[in-house]
Structure 1
Amino acid sequence: MMAQRFEGKVMVVTGAAQGIGRGVALRAAAEGAKVLFVDRAAFVPEVAAEAHCADTAGFVADMETYDGAAATMAYAVEKFGRIDILINGVGGAIRMRPYAEFEPAQIDAEIRRSLMPTLYACHAVLPHMLAQGRGTIVNISSNATRGIRRVPYSAAKGGVNAMTQCLAMEYGEHGIRVVAAAPGGTEAPPRRVPRNAAGDSEQEKRWMAEATRQVTESTFFKRYGTIEEQIAPILFLASDEAAYITGAVLPVSGGDNG
């Protein structure tokens, strides 16, 4: 932990109720940031309260809708006066299965979950950052742009990578940095809200096991990463220590760069 690295900074973290997003938001608050924890899970204010800091708040919004993204940025500016850093953490594969087995509605759901929240949030935050003449956006991508049993998710994260590089090129002259971290497989506590609310069939569990083996064997370390091993690179990219880094997608994936 870097003491007070984000002192005086306002940070919005989406997907902050669980997993990597939760860890990033809590660590940023501990390092001095004013943090808006954003999630569609109703318990996100409880997570924000875990920071034991007066300068945090939870905000319930569905980032799969543009209205949710716009409301989030408007609330952050109303509460904290500006937005210095946006961490786009919403996403995650809903199902693991061979591509031929996906139903059309399931393909749409994967893209809506893992591409559209980042696309919407970047669009919604840009007017605020342009008005300030500065800002940093960190998109959470994935090394799963190469892998099995998750083609729609992989396509969505490939879109996040492309968006990161294009936005960085387009808005660098306006003082806005846009970067991405690409985590590999990451060990996490059980989710309070599962990604696939319908649950997995026995066949889907077998497909998931196949994907898990591929992810593990593709890393040089032959293991999943930890949430702590993901938090540090994400916050480095968000910090002023990375002030001359933009348009980059940093793999945090044990050597399997996707």
Structure 2
Amino acid sequence: MRRFEGKVALITAAAQGIGSAVARRLADEGASVVVTDLQEDKLAEVANGIGEQTLPVRVDVTNRDDVDAAVAAAVDRFGRLDVVVNNAGGCIVRSVPEDATAEEFHAQLDLTLVGASRCIQAALPQLVKHRGNVVTISSVNGLAAFGNIEYAAAKAGQIALTVNYAARYGELGVRFNVVAPGTIKTPNWDSQPETLERFGKLYPLGRVGEPEDIAAAVAFLASDDASWITGHTLPVEGGVLTGPGGMNLGPSGFFKKEY
């Protein structure tokens, strides 16, 4: 399939994991891709692996100047911008919620929620011009109680942000959707193989997800195949929200706190 022929996509946090898989998938389907991250060496490897239709740009999504510069670089290099994939994020707060500081909470929101908002704001003129779309990578943590409360709140905020932008810009032909992954086998888990294996057994489909599982969902929502879908959250989570234990997996299986 060449669903993105002539299109340009910008993907944040694209140096590894989900972001790099999304960049490869969209490029394979014909897109020119702007890959952004703070890890410049890894970003260069991703760009080299994809080829000439790739532009690597160092971006800190907590810095609006960085985000504006990335959008400008996309337009300067490729002439337009059609798709934004908000993938930057991560769990900053490692303490239990009762002990988390306001500064930690603010940092989590700034990276995950406000960062996505900055990218949308910067790209909007191009998205309106080309009737483009945004796909934001949230999490099942934003839909159910799996722990990591501050992270979950930021991810839930991404869903609310998406719904409101979808309602506001639908008449202009700009779409906004969310993919909500379950546990995905990314380099963040490299030091915890036993935990990842244990989590996989909790999923009805018997495994954790691969970055390519999320890339496939993003490619669908960003393509014209989803031209009548906006304001939607697509869980890609191996059945963890609906299978045995379902939403109760948070306290019982994933992040139980001992008192």
TM over 0.5: yes
Partner of 1:49: 48
SS of the residue corresponding to residue 35 of structure 1 reads: strand
Indicate yes or no: 2:121 matched with 1:137: no
| Structure 2 counterparts to residues 4-15 of structure 1, below 5 A | 4-15=2-13
Please state how far the C-alpha of 1:5 moved relative to its aligned partner: 2.0
Give the deviation of 1:216 after TM superposition.
5.1
In 1, Cα distance between equivalents of 2:71 and 2:17: 22
Amino acid at match of 1:221: L
Cα shift at 1:26? 1.2
Give CA-to-partner distance per residue, 1:136-168, whole Å, 9 cap, x none. 111111111223441111010111000111000
Is the CA contact 2:81–2:130 (under 8 Å) kept in the aligned structure 1?
A: no
Equivalent pairs, count: 239
Q: Which amino acid aligns with 1:247?
A: G
* Corresponding residue number in structure 2 for 1:200: none
The Cα RMSD (Å) is 2.4
Using the size of structure 1 for normalisation, the TM-score is 0.85
1: CA distance, partners of 2:86 / 2:169: 17
Alignment of 1:191-202 (within 5 A): none
Q: Flag the 1:5–1:153 CA change in 2: closer, same or farther, 3 A.
A: same
Determine if the alignment matches structure 1 residue 245 to structure 2 residue 244: no
- For residues 38-75 of structure 1, the C-alpha deviation after alignment (integer angstroms, 9 at most, x for no partner) is 11212212311110x22111001111111121111111
Q: How far is 1:255 from its partner?
A: 2.1
Question: Partner of 2:240 in structure 1?
Answer: 256
- Kindly indicate whether residue 66 of structure 2 is the aligned counterpart of residue 82 of structure 1: no
1:152 corresponding residue in structure 2? 150
* Residue 108 (structure 1) shift: 1.8
Report the CA distance shift for 1:191/1:48 in structure 2 as closer, same or farther (over 3 A). farther
Q: Deviations for 1:184-210, whole angstroms, at most 9, x for unmatched residues?
A: 111123589x9xxxxxxxxxx9xxx6x
Structure 2: 5+ residue runs without aligned partners? 242-246, 248-259
Contact 1:40 1:63 survives alignment (8 Å): no
2:27 maps to 29
Partner of 1:92: 90
Any idea what SS the aligned residue of 1:100 has?
coil
Q: Which runs of 4+ in 1 moved over 4 A?
A: 215-218
